[in-house]
Structure 1
Amino acid sequence: MNRQTAEALALDLSRRSTPAEGGFCTHQTVIDGGACPFNLDCHNCDKFVMSGADLLYWRRKREHWRSIAERAPDDATADYLHSVFEPTARAIDGLESALAGLGLLDEALALDLRRPQDYYQRIWNLAFRASDLAAATEACDDFDLTEAPA
């Protein structure tokens, strides 16, 4: 993903958002303390965003799902588990690609969540809608995450 595409997808979390599992919620009703109208189904909500600070969490989650699928009792179950996680895997790939496009991938991979000073870095307040990230990976399926664009 090039820098212009990544910048177009980026959202500024320094405005209003609230933490959700593995990301942030940008739905104003929830931010203002109201009940979630989507029954807390964050991962299927277009108001759910992922930041660079969430990358390591999602990488661990992807490995967890792969591990579960590998131990499935049969191929049909393994295929089902892979298909359930596939939209999330596309969003993770999109997040990695967007961070690489902005030159922030190494910073996200080096993030130490135990150090409070890390919370004030740009990697925390720059986020992307999970649905946009998944769609971006479908549009450009041949990006290389090993080289950050100049």
Structure 2
Amino acid sequence: MNRVRVAAVAVTGAAVVGLAAPAASARVEPDPMAAGQRVNVSDGRRCATDRGATAASTLFGSVVLEPAATRGMAADTTVARSATPGHYRVTIDCGGSGGERFTETVTVRDGRAEGVNASQAAGGLVLLALAAGAAHLLRRTANPRT
């Protein structure tokens, strides 16, 4: 495999991972979640830290977001134990009147929240393909045909 093909595989892999990642917006992790589970809510760096922000949902009420080192404004909260399986909206209000407002839809599952989402699966497949390509390239380099 020549260097151009290796570069093409790397660029394609990076593009797939980038497209699979969600756009910057409200983030609630983990998603999916279970009733009574501790979650982290963040604004995806969309709110100005000097104006503050709040997150609200029927899952946990209203929570004040505080500046966080890597996620913009964030807070930890607990999903209500009475939450039933389904899809719920989480709304982030950036501080003050006229501030930006955006929502994220999250999923509550019955029992423990396990498994991977589509972004994680796509990223794993890309990494697996890149590893296979690198192994093939290393093998060809170690045993060149004459």
Query: Which TM-score band applies after superposition, normalised by the shorter structure?
Result: under 0.3
Q: Could you tell me the TM-score, scaled by structure 2's length?
A: 0.28
The structure with the greater share of residues assigned to helix is: 1
Structure with higher Rg: it is 2
**Higher RCO (CA < 8 A, seq sep 6+):** 1
Structure having the larger proportion of residues in strand:
2
